[in-house]
Amino acid sequence: MSSASAPNGPTFAAPHVAPPAGTLLTPPPAVPRGRRLGTWALILSLIATVLASAVGGLLAFRIVSRVAPDLQTAATIEARMFSPVRDLVLAGEITFWAATVIGLAAFVLGIVATARNAARGAGIAAIVVSALGPLVFGAFVIVAIAGAAAAMSTGGASIT
């Protein structure tokens, strides 16, 4: 007996010939993905988190600095106290809702970019930044309100 035979019979190896690309035996060649989707998601999440939070904080500071004298003397807070700053309140509300829409779009685009492997790192960063966006927005507003209240209680100048 020859040494090339196996216990169950002879072993034969077929020559390795790659089938043509695109046939049923091989997948089509990978199409390079664009890197724009993850990058756009990251840019939108930064706009929603950083820029909108800064604008919201500034508006909150201006609202409180103008309304603080009325709030200090009033027994209850009434909606009419905010009548002199209704334009700032409207701008703050528009900023909040615009940041919400932009942040949600960035979150979804980040998920899609991560799933499609289109700038996966930027997509993951966009998901994280847009998820932290509401916390950053709230922190900016709370710090601005506390700063304006502290400035008014110590007799500091108000920003108009």
Q: What pLDDT digit, counting tens, does each position of 29-57 carry?
A: 676 666 789 999 999 999 999 999 999 99
Q: What pLDDT digit, counting tens, does each position of 64-84 carry?
A: 888 877 777 777 777 788 889
Given this model, what pLDDT does residue 93 score? Answer: 95
Confidence of residue 148 (pLDDT cuts 50, 70, 90): confident
Q: What is the mean pLDDT of the chain?
A: 84
Confidence of residue 91 (pLDDT cuts 50, 70, 90): very high
Long-range contacts of 94-101 (CB under 8 A, 24+ apart): 95/52, 95/55, 95/56, 95/59, 96/52, 96/56, 96/137, 98/52, 99/48, 99/49, 99/52, 99/53, 99/56, 99/133, 99/137, 100/48, 100/134
